[in-house]
Structure 1
Amino acid sequence: MRGILASSIGVTCAAALALPLAPPAAAVAGPAPTAEAATRATGATGATDADVPGSTQSLSLRPLGGDRAAGTVVQGLGPRTVRQFSLLGVVWDDPAAHLDGLVQVRTRSVATGTWSGWQDVETHNADHAADPGTPERASGTRRGATAPLWVGASDGVEIRVRATAAPATGSPDGTATGPADGTRSAAVPLLPAGLQLELIDPGDGTPASAGPLDAPRAGETGTEATAASAANASLAPLGATEIPALSRELTERELLSDRGAAAPGARQAKPYIGPRPAITTRRGWGANESMREKGFSYTKKVKAAFVHHTASGNTYKCSQAPSLIRGFYRYHVVSLGWRDIGYNFLIDKCGRIYEGRAGGVAKPVLGAHTLGFNSNSMGIAVIGSYGAKKPSGSAVKAVSRLTAWKLGLHGMNPKGKTYLTSAGGNLYRKGKKVRLNVISGHRDGFNTACPGGKLYKKLGSARSTAARYQGR
């Protein structure tokens, strides 16, 4: 989702690849991969995929012949049998490199044994990342990636990746990667180095939502699981799978009580804050806390909310949303090298709200969602793809309820404007103070199609409704 202009060549707007179709499924199902499908280690604690629910299969892409379009570069894999997975994406070595091309996959359903048609994978995902200069950005473990695609339980896959443009001349950090005059290279289109297909099994998540915290599942440290839950201790009991909703009156009382504790004796003005919505905790959606980096990272306050879509497709059932989130989490941490899932919150199409990055839902947790504007903001991802499809009314209402509460904690008017300082991106240079809507779309801070045109058009309504929830 790199750019609105670039999105015309992006997968979401592209026609089908001009590549020969594969033979019938019955003739092409190959043996299960062995050394070719390396499984990654899961993260900071040194636990391996054998120790924790879920897995990641990494398959290196190969040059493919027979492409009819002269002068293009094509890589991929023929149809093959693999271990079961439900989410996929493509990664490459350099996180600053762009995949200017078309990515299509087809998968075989575990339930029916039939192959899907070709599906597009959104290629522009570099705009979801930690800010330049932050420890997470400079970790040396990060990789470039497409958006993830939810395909449901599958045990077969085929993929084609074709370059369609010369390498871009600038990275998402604002650093030059092409000719000094800013023109595009006339070289043959290239694909990023180190292309790999990531096949993710999110696991069932059951152990995370059952049993006491002092009896964690295999591979999960009790310390980190307890810390993630304790970050919400003022809102729910330790080990809770959900933070309960509060009425507006009780939410106001809670906020005034906190302010009074911070400044005893001070007269407290009536706050503008919406009722706290119910929020499924990380324990509730089955986060394995051994995968992420230890500890939490915070910014100063939350002055703005950036709304995103996950570009992962709309075929999921709401009951599957926890599985999708576990898949996003594993993709962000294991495949992309981030410290945790990038978004602060996620919302499914039924309007259910989920805790994202660990550190406490009421706290200003520093995310990795809007490159250049992660500081003093939060990222909310509506699960699905909303370029051509309208978001559900339940999802838009949930955006309003969440922002009315969270922005209210920081005294922000959802219908107002605020200033954020850019940390560097493809739309605003580093250090520029930018006036933005308090509730903005991702495209307002970065040249991208996210959160999709259909969802972006609903943000005006979300602002008005959130302000009404606040009593404005």
Structure 2
Amino acid sequence: MANAAAVGVAQAAESQGKTPAGSSTHHLSLQGGEATEDLPNEHSTKPFSLLGVSWDNPDTELPGTVEVRTRDARTGSWSSWFHLEGHGHGGDEGTTAARGSSDPVWVGPSNGVQLRTTHEGKAAAKLPAGARLDLVDPGADSGSVSAEPGAGEGQPPIVSRAGWGADETLLPPGAEPGDPSNDPEYNAEVKAIFVHHTAGTNDYSCDESPAIIRAIHRYHVVTNGWKDVGYNFMVDKCGTIFEGRKGGTDKPVLGAHTYGFNRESSGIGVLGNHAALPASQEALASVAAVSAWKLGQYGGDPAGTAELTTTVTQENYFGKQYTVGNSYTFERISSHRDGVNVDCAGDKLYEQLPAIRQLASEL
């Protein structure tokens, strides 16, 4: 029998308040959630569209497999179970991660959730201290979602942060307005691009893209404790390019996307899950356009390689070991899994990287 951690031990409580756009985060505590013999009950919640699991100690990882399913607020139907990929380390090298967390998953408008943990058919280990479900409501659309023409040579049209409705007052827990540590940081150059997928569903309309990005932004700041959204750019399946972390699209902004290699790179998050489904041709073309432009600013050949120096000791998805302070050879356009032990950007998008490199080289 599958084993499960109880959900909804504590009342859902809103945190961080409402933003001008009406977005919010509320939490369901999972404390006391040791594995049991019974699946948890379906739990009704306040509205949300994105979720993840977080816990107190960022140096701790989730035990076993954590799965959730959600109730569609429009139809009342429950989704199938899906896996939350969890990792303890922070991605933002300019700040210290407040909590460990899973990757956030976009599920669309929902009002119910259920969680279970399993481990090789046996009772799952107790969840880490402070474990909770973080449920994000992205709020209503605001701003004009239109891509602004590129100002520099080779710069593709990009939807600004104002265009997707970024809440520029949002700060990580405990941060004070005006603290210079909240300001953007800059790298010396962009030597490489790391491509990601944001996971969740591919069944979204491109009109929903700004809401997805607002939810990811809030999760990265409120849940992870980062100073801003982690990606430098985001691309949806229609090929629309969105500005990510603030600081200037034409500048080498330090992002929080590929832990250990953020200091010499930019990160592009492709909206959707590309473990089993390839990215659209429109998305590939836009990823190539951003990559060619950013690398071209610093004379980088998209079809070439670069030497990157890691800031942490870790291994990647393929078991390659990286030691802090040492340099390693990367394709100029690589995937998250090339640097970190995660399956991002999914098998299918990973297989499309050669095509992205070719398109970028042609540009």
Q: What is the TM-score of this pair, normalised by structure 1?
A: 0.68
Residue of structure 1 equivalent to 2:262 = 374
Query: Contact 1:107/1:154 (CA < 8 Å) preserved in 2?
Result: yes
Query: Contact 2:193/2:332 (CA < 8 Å) preserved in 1?
Result: yes
Alignment pair present for 1:158 and 2:118 = no
Give the match's secondary structure for 2:41. strand
Q: CA deviation at 1:190?
A: 4.1
Alpha-carbon displacement from aligned partner over 1:343-389 (angstroms, at most 9, x marks no partner): 10111111111110000001010011001000011001111111111
Question: Which of these residues, 115, 136, 147, is aligned with residue 242 of structure 1?
Answer: 147
Alignment pair present for 1:59 and 2:22 = no
Q: CA deviation at 1:35?
A: 7.0
Query: Contact 2:164/2:214 (CA < 8 Å) preserved in 1?
Result: yes
CA RMSD of aligned residues (A): 2.7
Alignment of 1:218-233 (within 5 A): none
Look up the equivalent residue of 1:101 and give its one-letter code: G
Give the match's secondary structure for 1:308. strand
Query: Contact 1:150/1:316 (CA < 8 Å) preserved in 2?
Result: no
- In 2, Cα distance between the equivalents of 1:127 and 1:310? 17
Look up the equivalent residue of 1:326 and give its one-letter code: R
Q: CA deviation at 1:292?
A: 3.6
Alignment of 1:100-111 (within 5 A): 100-111=63-74
Question: Which of these residues, 80, 84, 91, is aligned with residue 47 of structure 2?
Answer: 84
Q: CA deviation at 1:81?
A: 2.0
Give the match's secondary structure for 1:449. coil
Query: Contact 2:9/2:29 (CA < 8 Å) preserved in 1?
Result: no
**Greater radius of gyration (CA):** 1
Query: Contact 1:425/1:446 (CA < 8 Å) preserved in 2?
Result: no
Q: CA deviation at 1:153?
A: 1.1
Query: Contact 2:50/2:137 (CA < 8 Å) preserved in 1?
Result: yes
Q: CA deviation at 1:99?
A: 0.8
Query: Contact 1:346/1:354 (CA < 8 Å) preserved in 2?
Result: yes
Residue of structure 1 equivalent to 2:353 = 459
Alpha-carbon displacement from aligned partner over 1:282-338 (angstroms, at most 9, x marks no partner): 100000000047421111111110011112221211111111000000100011111
- In 2, Cα distance between the equivalents of 1:418 and 1:395? 24
Q: CA deviation at 1:400?
A: 0.7
Question: Which of these residues, 317, 321, 331, is aligned with residue 209 of structure 2?
Answer: 321
Residue of structure 1 equivalent to 2:241 = 353
Q: CA deviation at 1:18?
A: 2.3
Give the match's secondary structure for 1:242. coil
- In 2, Cα distance between the equivalents of 1:370 and 1:403? 16
The alpha-carbon distance between structure 1 residues 111 and 375, as it changes in their structure 2 partners (threshold 3 A), is: same
Alignment of 1:11-26 (within 5 A): 18-19=2-3
- In 1, Cα distance between the equivalents of 2:203 and 2:146? 25
- In 1, Cα distance between the equivalents of 2:205 and 2:197? 16
Query: Contact 1:205/1:287 (CA < 8 Å) preserved in 2?
Result: no
Alignment pair present for 1:144 and 2:114 = no
Question: Which of these residues, 296, 302, 317, is aligned with residue 414 of structure 1?
Answer: 302
Residue of structure 2 equivalent to 1:11 = none
- In 1, Cα distance between the equivalents of 2:89 and 2:199? 13
Note the residue ranges of structure 1 that are not aligned, 5 or more in a row: 1-16, 23-32, 42-47, 69-75, 167-186, 211-239, 253-274
Query: Contact 1:332/1:341 (CA < 8 Å) preserved in 2?
Result: yes
Residue of structure 2 equivalent to 1:285 = 164
Give the match's secondary structure for 1:395. helix
Note the residue ranges of structure 2 that are not aligned, 5 or more in a row: 173-181, 316-321
Give the match's secondary structure for 2:292. helix
Alignment of 1:301-316 (within 5 A): 301-316=189-204
Q: CA deviation at 1:245?
A: 4.2
- In 2, Cα distance between the equivalents of 1:165 and 1:80? 24
Query: Contact 1:89/1:121 (CA < 8 Å) preserved in 2?
Result: no
Alpha-carbon displacement from aligned partner over 1:395-424 (angstroms, at most 9, x marks no partner): 111111111111111111101111111001
- In 1, Cα distance between the equivalents of 2:72 and 2:201? 16
Query: Contact 1:127/1:448 (CA < 8 Å) preserved in 2?
Result: no
Q: CA deviation at 1:107?
A: 2.0
Query: Contact 1:241/1:282 (CA < 8 Å) preserved in 2?
Result: no
The alpha-carbon distance between structure 1 residues 454 and 35, as it changes in their structure 2 partners (threshold 3 A), is: closer
Alignment of 1:385-400 (within 5 A): 385-400=273-288
The alpha-carbon distance between structure 1 residues 363 and 356, as it changes in their structure 2 partners (threshold 3 A), is: same
Query: Contact 2:2/2:118 (CA < 8 Å) preserved in 1?
Result: no
Give the match's secondary structure for 1:306. strand
State the identity %.
41
Residue of structure 2 equivalent to 1:195 = 131
Number of residues of Structure 1 aligned to a counterpart in Structure 2: 345
Look up the equivalent residue of 1:289 and give its one-letter code: E
Alpha-carbon displacement from aligned partner over 1:58-95 (angstroms, at most 9, x marks no partner): 11014266427xxxxxxx85322221111111111111
The alpha-carbon distance between structure 1 residues 189 and 347, as it changes in their structure 2 partners (threshold 3 A), is: same
Alpha-carbon displacement from aligned partner over 1:104-146 (angstroms, at most 9, x marks no partner): 222222212x231332133234466023xx4x02xxx521111
Alignment pair present for 1:36 and 2:36 = no
